[in-house]
């Protein structure tokens, strides 16, 4: 199965503001990759602090942890004040997130066999659309059935000791 692959290291290193174009028709700035970058940060970069400063700093309770400890941002409660960005001691929460939620449907059923527009327009080659298996490559993580991320993942000390 072909999946969208984001090389998060390239993305974070080269892009201060995402320059890709997106064909997703239902969001204001036509940039669905913004939401995907947010998910990657919450799933793979976030340190999952026991006492989450970002959650405590939010004046509207827009950030919560799910049952696995991953951050979830409520679009209806977030006002874009960036208190969470300032409160996170690790810089996990991207500062360029808009308060509204962009979407991404992974171009399912809309590409007619071609590459998605985000892949074609990424100037740094940080986004690919290809057959990939999570376990076969180093630093590759499956975020969902349509999204794979290449990232050097932070590990808690006890995870490193167990290996």
Counting residues of the chain whose pLDDT is more than 70, the rounded percentage is 82
What is the C-alpha separation between 47 and 32, in angstroms, rounded?
Answer: 24
pLDDT in tens, 40-51: 878 777 888 888
What is the DSSP secondary-structure string of the chain?
Answer: -EEEEEEHHHHHHH-SS-------TTSTTS-THHHHHHHHIIIII----SS-HHHHH-TT--EEE-TTS-EEE-TTT-----HHHHH-TT--S-TT--SSPP---TTTTTSTTSPPHHHHH-TT--EEEEE--TTTSTTEEEEETTEEEE------HHHHHH-
pLDDT in tens, 94-117: 777 666 666 788 888 777 778 888
| 86/161: higher pLDDT | 86
pLDDT in tens, 62-79: 999 988 888 888 878 888
Q: Can you give the CATH number for the domain in which 123 is found? A: 3.30.70.20
pTM for the full predicted model? 0.70
Domain total for the chain? 1
Residue 32 domain boundaries: 2-162
In the DSSP assignment, the letter for residue 141 is E
What is the C-alpha separation between 149 and 141, in angstroms, rounded?
Answer: 5
């Amino acid at each position: 199965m072909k999946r969208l692959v984001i090389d998060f290291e390239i993305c974070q290193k080269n892009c201060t503001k995402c320059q890709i174009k997106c064909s997703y028709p239902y969001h204001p700035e036509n940039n669905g990759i913004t939401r995907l970058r947010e998910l990657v940060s919450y799933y793979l970069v976030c340190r999952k602090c026991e006492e989450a400063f970002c959650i405590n700093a939010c004046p509207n309770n827009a950030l919560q942890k799910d049952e696995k400890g991953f951050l979830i941002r409520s679009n209806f409660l977030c006002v874009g004040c960036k208190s969470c960005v300032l409160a996170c001691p690790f810089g996990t929460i991207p500062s360029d997130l808009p308060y509204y939620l962009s979407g991404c449907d992974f171009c399912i059923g809309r590409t007619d066999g071609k590459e998605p527009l985000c892949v074609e327009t990424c100037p740094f080659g940080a986004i690919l659309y290809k057959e990939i298996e999570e376990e076969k490559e180093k630093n590759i993580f499956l975020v969902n059935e349509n999204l794979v991320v290449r990232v050097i993942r932070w590990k808690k000390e006890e995870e490193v000791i167990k290996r």
